[in-house]
Amino acid sequence: MKVDVLLGLQWGDEGKGKVVDVLTPKYDVIARFQGGPNAGHTLIFEDQKYVLRSIPSGIFQGDKVNIIGNGVVLDPARFMEEAKSLEAAGHELKDRLYISKKTHLILPTHRLLDAAYEQQKGDDKVGTTGRGIGPAYTDKVSRNGLRVGDILCNFEEKYAKLKAHHEVLLQNLDYSYDLDKEEKEWLAGIAYLKEFNLIDSEHTINQYLDNGKSVLCEGAQGTLLDVDFGSYPYVTSSNTVCAGACTGLGIAPKRIGDVFGIFKAYCTRVGEGPFPTELFDNTGDLICELGGEFGSVTGRKRRCGWIDLVALRYSIMINGVTKLIMMKSDVLDTFETIKACVAYKIDGEEVDYFPYDIEGNVEPIYTEITGWQTDMTKVKSEDEFPEEFNAYLSFLEEELGVDIAIVSVGPDREQTIVR
Ligand code: GDP
Ligand code: IMO
Ligand code: MG
């Protein structure tokens, strides 16, 4: 059986959580392969809203297995908070959520280091979510990290050693802190984690596949935040691209089936870093207001702009996208005209590929498209699409070279049209 991957093609918050939930009935297993509590995946159904950070978005559909893979970084305190709030809302987790023993732990001192490094960078800060993501992945790669499996044996000793190492770094960074309350919560989170099935998830997933079960991998962040291919250094610290599903779960590349690339009908970014199509005018403010573009993790206002087809073509190439998913179409319902960036002008030259450096002198070249000026939120099927909306879809499919298989017309699970 093949593994399908769903991932963001922009700078995150494309609506991954919503669509993973919509697609879950077609799969047996839903797995997260990278990122951590920097993610905020929103699901709305039956008048309830949930924001998931580390738990896969397949968790609400009873008979599905959900896996937190080895490529994820997990903060036990934040995980306990998230899991307990779901349990309090009547959702059973322990029989359906498995966690890889190879998943790396985010320590309270990782969060402090995240803040200290940002402070040290000053005006050059990344604008991280402050969840300790960068420092936790740094320790993983530098072979100092602690993994979920470590909590099962001599944990106190290992924790004390890494904490002492971090305290020296914090002292060198001249960062003052008080750890007591956070550490208490975190240790309670470690105890809570032991109540879950801690597994060798690479074996489990491959066995599922060998037995004909289907797997959907849920990406976090987006391709333009990938540590290798994103707008470095304004990126996250993991591989958000399709290849990350292989390393983050132990799946062979030949097992990958469909790659669902998800994008908004416009574009947003939260945090610092270049964004060629960013709008600094009333139109940008209007998109922000109509799209409710405020971060689901930090509450920060998301920067808004027009869709960037140069960047999308790049993301499609890197990921081998086989099907596109367009989100938040309804946000553009009232616009007379919509713009799409089809190329960049750099130093007077027209460029149609995503270059090494998109900072500074990159000027978007736009095509204008007639808006559909129709309330799309009530549309139930493709036959009801206005002519201008169909024209926008055809334009995008031609520019991007991949079919748009799903269109989302509102935040609710029901407001989804599969073509
Ligand atoms: P994710 O991180 O990719 O899962 O996306 P987020 O949940 O951070 O952000 C997407 C936001 O858009 C959430 O508030 C969703 O409820 C909302 N949303 C998703 N799809 C649609 C849509 O088609 N239309 C509108 N108006 N909102 C949507
Ligand atoms: P989801 O999964 C949008 C951004 C941060 C910052 C940069 C690095 O909900 O799409 P980090 O804390 O990861 O070190 O921050 O990445 N960022 C996100 N932006 N959506 C996310 O996740 C993000 N996760 C991280 O704002 O610019
Ligand atoms: Mg999000």
What is the rounded distance in angstroms from the CA atom of residue 117 to the CA atom of residue 125?
A: 8
pLDDT of the residue at 229: 98
In testing the pocket of ligand 2, which one of 53, 129, 235 has its CB within 8 Å of the most ligand atoms? 129
pLDDT of the residue at 1: 78
Closest CA to 220 of 238, 205, 197: 238
253 φψ region: left (φ > 0), alpha (ψ -120 to 50), beta (else): alpha
**Encoding tokens for residue 417?**
């049209």
Long-range contacts of 43-50 (CB under 8 A, 24+ apart): 43/17, 43/18, 43/413, 44/18, 44/411, 44/412, 44/413, 45/21, 45/412, 45/413, 45/414, 48/89, 50/86, 50/89
Helix (H) or strand (E) holding 233: none
pLDDT of the residue at 31: 98
Is position 203 annotated as part of the catalytic site? no
DSSP 328-371: -GGGGTT-SEEEEEEEEEETTEEE-S--S--SSSEEEEEEEEE-
pLDDT of the residue at 69: 98
| Ligand 1 lined by 18 (C-beta under 6 Å) | yes
| Ligand 2 lined by 106 (C-beta under 6 Å) | no
| Ligand 1 lined by 37 (C-beta under 6 Å) | no
| Ligand 2 lined by 15 (C-beta under 6 Å) | no
What is the rounded distance in angstroms from the CA atom of residue 73 to the CA atom of residue 54?
A: 9
Q: Which amino acid is at 153?
A: C
Q: Which amino acid is at 219?
A: G
Distances (CA, A) of 352 to 218, 276, 358: 29, 13, 12
- The conformation of residue 96, written as its DSSP 8-state character, comes to T
Is position 91 annotated as part of the catalytic site? no
Neighbours of ion ligand 3 (CB under 5 A): 13, 40, 296
Which residue spans within 3-114 are E strands per DSSP? 3-8, 29-32, 41-45, 48-52, 65-68, 73-74, 97-100, 104-105
pLDDT mean by block of 10 residues, the chain; 419 residues: 95 98 98 98 97 98 94 98 97 96 98 98 96 98 98 97 98 95 96 98 98 98 98 98 98 98 98 97 97 86 97 98 98 98 96 92 96 97 97 98 98 97
pLDDT of the residue at 295: 83
Helix (H) or strand (E) holding 60: none
What is the rounded distance in angstroms from the CA atom of residue 264 to the CA atom of residue 408?
A: 9
**Tokens 């397949």 — which residue?**
58
Angle at 197 between CA 67 and CA 64, to 5 degrees: 40
Q: Give the CA diameter of the chain.
A: 66
